[in-house]
Amino acid sequence: MSNLKKAFLVKYGEIAIKGKNRYIFENILADHIRRALKPCGDFKVSKEQGRIFIEPFSDYDYDEVVDRLSRIFGLVGICPVVVLEDMDFETVKEATLMYMKDEYEDFNFTFKVESRRADKRYPLNSMEIACEVGAYLLDHIPELKVDVKKPDVKVWVEIRSRAYIYSKIIKGLGGMPVGSNGKAMLMLSGGIDSPVAGYLVAKRGVKLDAVYYHSHPYTSERAKQKVIDLAKIVSRYSGRINLNVVPFTDIQLYIYEQCPHEQLTIIMRRIMMIIAERLAEKYGAIALVTGESIGQVASQTIQSLNATNSVCNMPVFRPLIGFDKQEIVEISEKIDTYGTSILPYEDCCTIFVAKHPVTKPSLKSIIRSERRLEKIDEMIEEAINNVELVKIKPDEEE
């Protein structure tokens, strides 16, 4: 872009209302940006009055940088900017004109100049800056037309310790930076729902680990690899994930032999919750996350959810609880998990399913049936002791 100095200005949303604790969230977000951009080149990431600035000190791939920034929770806008060290107003006007000529091939659009003067020592106020810069552009680009209500293009001039000029805001994911709101254990299957649930909870700043229940030989190695692949896709947004692969065959067969078949799914889910909670405690997580949605299957009626919840001491987050299937599918397509989720490799949840599962289970009846499982505590302990740990890293960290 001619000889103008290029950089990125990134905007955040909710972090701005965090009061005296805001710097903690800003620091976490800045660290995520540094980590994400490390493979792309040499960048300086700095904070200034509600903005984070990213300055390159080496060549970089613009599309790759934008793609990586667009996957960081906490950012609401990514703005490619030009930076002026010299803030003489004539220089600012000339640089804005040069920026417009470099950025746009034709000027068949309406525009408006917006200004923000964070440095109150600057001799012109925000309104004066916007009016003067707008008039200067009109004088030098006659094709331009002003529309102050609904312009096609907004040209921003921000006066801070330096001047920043930009006109494009690439939408970010929003949310909170991962790790700013504790850690949770995601119950991850090979289906559509649980990866989306993990994504949505990570968006609220929660760090994720995950647990997957594998029933070899009833489920294949391809089914396990499918879940690993899903965890890897989720990690693009959530960061590193410790995926705990729990050997679940013996427990499932034991439940199948000892308990009424219409209660199999509920009892199996309860044991899964117990194991997930134990693993969560091991990794310092303080909540569980599932992909359940009210009424989607027999194990997700309100009565069934109550029955499975009753074995947990930790809170259970169900971010999809009020979503219909199409809404979940749309998010899975957006985050690129859908194509992997629909691969035809069954997981343990689909193998031992009763023909007529109970949809309104009595908790007393479930507990009564579980009394038949005399060996379940030692089997749970054995499963936990034989967990296979798979360390999942985002592609950029490979």
Query: How far from chain centre, in Å, is Cα 259?
Result: 39
Sign of the CA dihedral with 388 first, then 392, 397, and 398 last: positive
332-354 burial code (b ≥16 CB/10 A, e <16):
beebebbebbeeebbbbbeebee
DSSP, collapsed to helix, strand or coil, labels residue 270 as helix
Q: Is 182 annotated as a binding residue?
A: no
Q: What's the rounded Cα separation, in Å, for the pair 69 and 173?
A: 9
Q: What's the rounded Cα separation, in Å, for the pair 58 and 28?
A: 24
| Residue 378 CB contacts under 8 Å (≥ 6 apart), including other chains | none
Q: What's the rounded Cα separation, in Å, for the pair 291 and 32?
A: 26
What residues are paired with 55 via a beta bridge? 44
Classify residue 179 as left (phi > 0), alpha (psi -120 to 50) or beta: left
DSSP, collapsed to helix, strand or coil, labels residue 296 as coil
Q: Beta strand 153-159 with 110-117: parallel, antiparallel or unpaired?
A: parallel
Q: Is 291 annotated as a binding residue?
A: yes
Q: Which helix (H) or strand (E) holds 181?
A: none
Q: Is 371 annotated as a binding residue?
A: no
DSSP H stretches of helix in the chain: 22-37, 62-69, 89-103, 126-140, 193-203, 221-238, 249-258, 264-283, 302-309, 325-335, 338-341, 363-370, 376-385
Q: What's the rounded Cα separation, in Å, for the pair 135 and 300?
A: 62
Q: What's the rounded Cα separation, in Å, for the pair 103 and 267?
A: 61
Q: Is 258 annotated as a binding residue?
A: no
Crossing angle for the helix pair 221-238 and 193-203, nearest 10 degrees? 20
Q: Which helix (H) or strand (E) holds 207?
A: strand 207-214
Q: Tell me which residue has tokens 């995601």.
A: 186
CA distances from 390 to 189, 198, 243, 345 (A): 15, 17, 5, 19
Detail the residues annotated as belonging to a binding site for ATP: 187-188, 212-213, 269, 291, 300
Q: Which residues are annotated as a binding site?
A: 187-188, 212-213, 269, 291, 300
